[in-house]
Structure 1
Amino acid sequence: MRYLAPSRDAVDPQVFRRMPLAAWRDHAALLEGRDWPGIEALNRYWPAAARERFVAQTPALLADGLHYEQRIAEHGEIATRTGNWHDLLNALVWLRHGALKRTLNARQVTEIAHMGPKVRSRAQYALTHFDEAGVIVWLRDEALLTLWDAHDWHGLFWRHRHAWLDGTIRVELFGHALLELALDPTRLPVGKALAFHLDEGRDTPSALAHCATAIAHGHLLRDPLELRPLPLSGIPGWHPDNVDEAFHLGAACYQPRRTGRSYPPIHALTG
């Protein structure tokens, strides 16, 4: 069943104070105001050097015949529906993670040139899955990867709960569809994650830059099977019920690993 986000006036304000939406408090005026922000209000948040701009998705705009990704690459125009949570949250990700968004766009346009606008390659599926539901995870203790590989959710989120609190595991949510799901507190969203080993002293901006470079060079997101499921509701502070062990023994978002399913080795951050 297709997900329908709650109307703006029906959203429980508490969702903006709980992760993942709590991480976007710098855009609280756009998210929590009574009225929908207009296109020009969004564009005021761009840095001066940015070539992209949000433009209203109108019949006249779509009549140019360009694919959504081609329009961004050729004209810097990001088609955006007003009064729409999905597009508003996509805009916020552009404003925060512009370099990574540009990397995905460049890869998509390259694939469109090979495949045409109506057929998708495996790489395009991977790029789209990550754009919509992507999560970047950095681990200092690779032993935790064994639990993740086995879908041992009780071990990953309960027995090693401290790892999520002391920085042994760090998470950066990228997918705007995950942010949209978070508007409904009854949802238990599952991200599609890329996992990296994080050395001491590496800060988040440099780690994100490495991720963008690896994607740009085609080392990552060549196939959707590269992406690992990560039930976000298990992370401390991301769902009120996960303070109890019972949640980690039976939450609907905790699915067993499919027979034969395997995941790629953890990616190293270099340079």
Structure 2
Amino acid sequence: MSTADHHPASLATQPLFAPIGRWLERCAGTGLPDHAALDALLAEAAPGTRSGGGAPIRFVPPGETPAGYEAHIFARGEVPTRSGDWHDFFNALAWCAWPRTKATLNRLHVEELQTRTAAGLSGRGPRRDALTQFDECGIVVVSADTEIPALLAAHEWEAAFWDRRQRLARTTRFLVFGHATWELLRAPFFGLCAKALYRRVAPDWLALPADAALADTDAWLAHEFTTMIGDFSPRSLSALPLLGIPGMTPENECAAYYRDTRQFRPRRAHEAHAAIL
């Protein structure tokens, strides 16, 4: 059976699935949970979770959403979720893991839509594009190291992933947010990237239990999105090649792996440095 055919529980112990690992373990069957089961998982994981508009979140079969996907969730709390679909399944688990940030992104989408409509602007605009990119493909790199986040943001891949490999393992955590990234991680491929935001923490943060560390990062991320939305755009996010993370593939157990610019491309001169928050 290929990795892509695995049932949900088989993914629970893989490192980049850690934010949703405990709920993947609960999905012991070969199929994906139905809407009622997903509602029950959310009620257990994050009781009282609400949309950006304050409506209780629940997962429902797709239907007509004339106001648009985000506006529908904002107003009604109904998250359209296709049965048996991995992408939508992981989106439901993202609500379990990141309830505050998911609600914040939902609110910011609707506020930006309203702002652009009032200004007579067509299209989604860069803020909504960036919100969607992070919602689908985001990862939070949390580090107590003074150098590693800046090196990764600058695309100094060998310096971060290889030269400081032991330090990275001790000081840095990679917390996937994006549900599309989890879907792709079922069968990782050469060049797979996520869109990273970087958070620097005090060393004692690393001693937090996993659940507490995740909840703390969720609260931090929701706050950061609210405060930085005015300047937020796709340029705010930094590409992170996921197969460079130690342990992701046996092939990255040598320095030469990080010199392949097809996957580990240098930062272009015109690219902005991602902020270290």
User: Alpha-carbon deviations, 1:84-125, whole Å to 9, x = none?
Assistant: 111111111011111110000000010111224961121101
Aligned residue in 2 for 1:213: 223
- Tell me the residue number matched to 1:26: 22
Matches within 5 A, 1:157-168: 157-166=161-170, 168=171
Q: 2:198 aligns with which of 175, 183, 195?
A: 195
- Deviation, structure 1 residue 253: 2.4
Q: Name the residue aligned to 1:35.
A: 31
Structure 2: where are the runs of 5+ without partners?
Answer: 50-55
**Cα offsets for 1:54-89 (capped at 9, x unmatched):** 0011xxx21x41211111111110011112111111
Q: Does 1:175 align with 2:185?
A: no
**Corresponding residue SS for 2:42:** coil
Partner of 1:3: none
Q: RMSD over aligned Cα, in angstroms?
A: 2.7
Matched, 1:107 2:112: no
> Are 1:54 and 2:59 counterparts?
yes
TM-score (norm 2): 0.82
- What is the rounded CA distance, in whole Å, between the counterparts of 2:115 and 2:219 in structure 1? 26
Q: Structure 1: where are the runs of 5+ without partners?
A: 1-5
> Match for residue 237 of structure 1?
247
Q: Could you tell me how far apart the structure 2 residues matched to 1:247 and 1:8 are?
A: 25
2:135 aligned residue: 131
Cα shift at 1:17: 4.0
Contact 2:241/2:263 (8 A) holds in 1: yes
Residues 14 and 249 of structure 1: CA distance in aligned 2, closer, same or farther (over 3 Å):
farther
Q: For 1:184 and 1:78, how far apart are their aligned partners in 2?
A: 26
Of 221-230 and 175-184, more deviation after overlay is shown by 221-230
Comparing 136-145 with 46-55, greater Cα deviation is found at 136-145
Instruction: Summarize the Cα distance change of 1:259–1:8 in structure 2 as closer, same or farther, 3 Å threshold.
Output: closer
Counterpart amino acid of residue 59 in structure 2: F
Percent identity over paired residues: 30
SS of corresponding position for 1:137: strand
- Conservation of the 8 A alpha-carbon contact between 2:9 and 2:25: no
Q: CA deviation at 1:171?
A: 1.9
TM-score for the superposition, normalised by structure 1: 0.84
1:124 partner letter: R
Partner of 1:154: 158
Indicate the SS of the match to 2:173. Answer: strand
- 2:42/2:95 contact within 8 Å kept: no
